[in-house]
Amino acid sequence: MSNFRNYLTPGRKGHLVGIGGVSMAPLAEVLFSMGLTITGSDISESEKVQHLKGLGIRIYQGHHKENIESDTEFVVRTAAVHDDNPEIMEAIRRGIPVAIMQDYENSICIAGTHGKTTTTSMCTHILMAAEKDPTVMIGGTLPLLDSSGYRVGKNEAIVLESCEYYNSFLNFYPTIAVITNVEEDHLDFFKDLDDIKASFRKFAMLVPKETGYVVYNIDDANTCEVVDGIERHLFSYGMSDNADVYPANIRRIGASTKFDIMFRGKTFTSVTLHVPGDHNVANALAATAASICLGIKPTAVSYGLAGFNGAGRRFEFKGKFNGADIYDDYAHHPSELKALLDAVEPLGYKRVIVVFQPHTYTRTEALFDEFMEQLKRPDVTYLAEIYAAREKNTKGITSGMFAEKLDNATYFSNNGDIVRNLRAVAQPGDIILTVGAGDVFRIGEELLAQK
């Protein structure tokens, strides 16, 4: 599709294949809210699908060529949908364009194994503070966007969380590509780390050679390897002064961090960040680097970051139970779990209690030892059963295998038992973290509902 924006006018009709996906569901709401007629399809009747149906969007269950209605003008596909999908084949047969958003004057695509949602959210805060009125698509929720994951702006700027799974981000058209880090993940799709690096390199190469920028984390060796030698404008950020953008004078005050943001040896602005951890300092630097590429003023960066208090399910405060603080976090990779615990441990809690729900059998098996190293760190670790997501357990792995090897861990086959146990042990001075990409957040919510 040569210019997707030509279709973004009221009355046009589009069909979204895999409409219940984490990126596709917000896109459906964006387009529907703009006055387009939207249909969709998905293999399951998820909460997102039910929500979209409630808005008045017609959604078919399963993928069939008949789902492409006679007056459909364009089709958008999710990354998990392959060329042999009957709806894609029917659209191509009828000459209906199949694509995803493109051709914004400024398209900021934020990729990486970790930190995508937070960095995209920080960029959104900065662009809103700069009055850029961006269109936004985030894989999570953000209070600034009325706790949704999207907004429709009138400016020629779009901010997109860009996932590598199934090479999804290779369908985007970045003018600024941000790579936060590159690690082994999604090994049910990628062959190995080299395969992942190759995908990220293709993503970076999507940036226009003369006018675009690749913003990358200079502290991450895999990311540096990905961008090495590519003929694009490279713009680095990191925690030391060998980067283009880096911090200085870092001061930690409780869960907040104050620091100066340096740009090539000079102070760009000073920032107060209200989310803890070095990983969030790095995310803020990534968002700042992208903003500098856009020519955004220092005051907007400072004001935007000061207003950021976290995205949904990213160290999200849920409430207090019996004097214990309850937070929820999406961490589902060992590096994300490490970053979370690194951020929490200096906060001075008497006990750190982690309720961890592994996500997918493939990831749990491939990274078992790495998970072990992190799960032994909390004072108390409760293990919920693995959240299967898209998989079947052909590997015979369970969360109980962690508990068998960890002195601080207990395995529960039923989430209700975890709630009852937390109710009995929670006390003032505790922090209770519900952690994982599945439905583990419901455990904290059920605990709070019983107050």
- Nearest CA to 340 out of 279, 271, 254 is that of 279
Q: Are 322 and 444 in contact (CB under 8 A)?
A: no
CA distance linking residue 196 with residue 309, whole number of Å: 31
Query: Which residues does 428 contact at the CB level (< 8 Å), separation at least 6?
Result: 322, 323, 324
CA distance linking residue 282 with residue 247, whole number of Å: 9
* φ and ψ at residue 348, rounded to 5 degrees: 85, 20
- Total residues belonging to the chain: 451
Instruction: Give the angle subtended at the CA of 209 by the CAs of 205 and 215, to the nearest 5°.
Output: 60
The active-site residue, picked from 78, 116, 124, 184, is 116
Active site residue 117: yes
The active-site residue, picked from 29, 87, 90, 161, is 161
Six-digit token pair at 432?
């209770």
Residue showing tokens 């979209």 = 52
Six-digit token pair at 116?
């995508």
Active site residue 398: no
The active-site residue, picked from 37, 78, 113, 117, is 117
Helices (H), 97-254: 116-129, 193-205, 221-227
Q: How far apart are the first and last CA of the chain?
A: 53
Residue showing tokens 């490490």 = 338
β-pair type (176-179, 213-217): parallel
- Per DSSP, 200 falls in state H
Query: Which residues does 47 contact at the CB level (< 8 Å), separation at least 6?
Result: none
CA distance linking residue 38 with residue 55, whole number of Å: 11
Query: Which residues does 171 contact at the CB level (< 8 Å), separation at least 6?
Result: 77, 79, 99, 100
Active site residue 161: yes
- Per DSSP, 386 falls in state P
β-pair type (106-111, 176-179): parallel
Residue showing tokens 């491939």 = 366
Instruction: Give the angle subtended at the CA of 197 by the CAs of 4 and 141, to the nearest 5°.
Output: 50
User: CA torsion sign, 331 to 222 to 78 to 12?
Assistant: positive
Q: What are the residue numbers of the active site?
A: 116-117, 161
